Amino acid sequence: MKYEKYKDLYTQYLISEKNLSRNTINNYLVDLDQFFFYEDIRVSNLNLKIKLYITDLRKKNLKTSSINRKISTLKNFLKFLQSEKIIKQINFQEFESISNLKKIPKAISKFQIEQIFENLYNSKQTNKELYILVLKLIYLSGLRISEALNLKWSDINHHDNSIYVYGKGSKERKVFIINDFLEHLKNLNKKNQFVFTLKNKKISVRSVNKFLENCYNDSIIKDKLSSHVFRHSFATTMLENNADIRHIQKLLGHSSISTTEIYTKVAKSIKKRVLDSYHPLKNKL
C-alpha cells in the first residue's frame, strides 16, 4: 500500500469531515509516519505488520495514553481506507487498547486558590498583573490555557457578561464571567485583536507557566503549579457548590461526560481533606 498516496486524502477528510485542528492533525500524521516508515518492520503483509508494530509499542517505555493514541490513530486511518474501498480484510482485533487508569487531575480548594492569588501579587516579576489576569480568567470560567490566550476583544459580550470560546476541533461554546473581572480587562491595551498581549504580541502558554515556575522558585507560592490546575479547580469548585455535572461539561467544553466525571473524585478528595483538617473532633477519636 502506498501510504504517501493516501496521506493527503486522509488529511482533507480530517479537516472537512472531522473538523479537527491543524495541530491535532499534525500529531496524527506523526503517529502514522512512525508506523509506515518503521524500519524494524520489513514485512509485506499489512496485518502482520500491524501486529508486530503494536507488540513493539507495548514493549517500549511509553505512557499508556501515548500507546493507545498511536493505536487509535492507526486504526482510524485504516478504517478510513477501508470505507473508501482502498484496502480490505484488516484484522481490527489487534487494535485492543491497553487499560488506562485515568489520572486524577490535581486541584485545590477555593480557600487555597484565594491564598495563591493573594501571594502571586507579591511577586516582583514584570507583567505579573497580566499573567494573574490570565490565571483568574481560567479559574473563573474553566477555559483551557490556549483558549484563554486566544481570546479576542470581539469575543467579549458586555451585555450579558459572556465570552465566546473556540475550543478543540474549532468547536464554539459560550461561557459567562463576572462583571468585576471584565472591568479589569478594560484597562488593557486594545491595539491588538487579542486580549492578552505583550509588546503587541499574544503571550504564550510557556510564558504563563514560566511565571508560575518563577513564583515557586522565589517561594512566593508553596507548590509547583501549572496553569491547568486553575481549570481543574474551577470544575471542582463548581461540583462542591452542587452544580449539575452536565452544565460543568458544557462550560469545560468536554465532548464526553466521562471526562468531566473524573472531577467528582477530586471534589470528594478535597472534601475529605477539609474534613480531616477542620473537624471539631480531630485528634479526639
| Annotated catalytic residue within 10, 28, 53, 263 | 263
d(CA 243, CA 232): 15
* Secondary structure class of 162 (helix, strand, coil): strand
Q: One-letter amino acid identity for 260?
A: T
Q: Is 222 a catalytic residue?
A: no
Q: Is 173 a catalytic residue?
A: no
d(CA 107, CA 94): 37
| Annotated catalytic residue within 110, 168, 202, 250 | 168
C-alpha distances (whole Å) from 197 to each of 210, 211, 223 are 16, 15, 27
Q: Is 159 a catalytic residue?
A: no
DSSP-assigned letters across all residues of 229-272: HHHHHHHHHHHHTT--HHHHHHHHT-SSHHHHHHHHHHHHHHHH
At residue 156, what are phi and psi to the nearest 5 degrees?
Answer: -95, 130
| Annotated catalytic residue within 70, 75, 144, 232 | 144
Q: Which three cell numbers mark 281?
A: 473532633
Instruction: Tell me the pairing of strands 172-176 and 156-157.
Output: unpaired
Q: What angle do CA 65, 72, 51 make, to 5 degrees?
A: 100
| Annotated catalytic residue within 49, 128, 228, 265 | 228
Spacing of C-alpha 224 from chain mean position: 18
Contact (CB, 8 A) for 228 and 222: no
Q: Which residue has the cell 503549579?
A: 225
Q: Is 254 a catalytic residue?
A: yes
Q: Is 246 a catalytic residue?
A: no
Q: Is 22 a catalytic residue?
A: no
| Annotated catalytic residue within 70, 136, 231, 232 | 231
d(CA 191, CA 197): 9
Q: Which residues are designated catalytic? A: 144, 168, 228, 231, 254, 263
